[in-house]
Every structure is written in structure tokens, then in C-alpha cells.
Amino acid sequence: MSMTVDRSDPDAPLIRVAGDLAYTTAAPLRTEVDRVLAEAPAALVLDFADLRFIDSTGLGVIVHAWREGQAGGTVLELRTVPRFLATILDLTGVTGLLARPITDSGPATGDPAEQPTAPA
């Protein structure tokens, strides 16, 4: 796994993830996500254009980024999601999780049909 971080937009830093995001490679991404979220940007963008593989640990990093972002008021945006990752996100329910907007009382609840769709 490799990643690059683009902070040219301080309100929406971009982390590009390439290669295999798995148990043996996920720690540096999680560390970088935490570093970026500590700055409390309005949004954090994860770009997966060059992702080849993801396992449950990699998926856990995405959920971690969403959860920590929610706590700090940062919206998580996934960009250039490969079809295999979109399928995994849908099958595991993470797509619905990511679609929950930030509210004053935490993630929105209610009818899932009323929730916006996750960015693709």
C-alpha cells in the first residue's frame, strides 16, 4: 500500500490510497487519517483510484475515519471508488453508514430512504 497526502485545500485534505489495503499495510493510513483529522478540516477525502485490494482491516480504517470525523465535525468523502470496493461497502452496510450526515446530536437516524447517498 502506498499513499500520498495533498493538503493544498486545508478545508478538504486528500489522501490517495494505492495498492493493497490490508492487515499488514493499513496502520500507516490509519495514522495519517488520525493526523489529518486532528486538524479538524471540514472534510477528509479518501481517493481509491489506484486501490487493488482491501480486506476487513482496510475497511475498518474507512469506518474509523468516518467515526472519528463524526466526532470532530469532519465529513468523510470517498472518491474514485473502484467497483469491487463499492460492492464491499454496500454488502457490509458501510455505504449507509457513510451517508449519515453530521448532526448536533450525532449521526442522523430515521428512514434510510431519506438519507443522502454516499459519494462514489
- Extract the C-alpha cell encoding 39: 486538524
Question: Which of 78, 54, 52 has its CA nearest to residue 65?
Answer: 78
Domain spans in the chain, listed from the N-terminal domain onward: 2-112
pLDDT of residue 98: 87
Query: Which CATH number does the domain 2-112 belong to among 3.30.10.20, 3.60.10.10, 2.40.420.20, 3.30.750.24?
Result: 3.30.750.24
pLDDT of residue 99: 85
pLDDT of residue 14: 98
Pairing of strands 2-6, 14-21: antiparallel
pLDDT of residue 105: 47
pLDDT in tens, the chain (120 residues): 999 999 999 999 999 999 999 999 999 999 999 999 999 999 999 999 999 999 999 999 999 999 999 999 999 999 999 999 999 999 999 999 888 776 544 444 444 444 444 444
**SS3 of 114, please?**
helix
Helix segments in the chain, DSSP class H: 26-37, 56-72, 83-92, 94-98
- Extract the C-alpha cell encoding 72: 470532530
Phi-psi region of 55 (alpha: psi -120 to 50; beta: other; left: phi over 0): beta
Give the whole-angstrom CA distance, residue 15 versus residue 21. Answer: 13
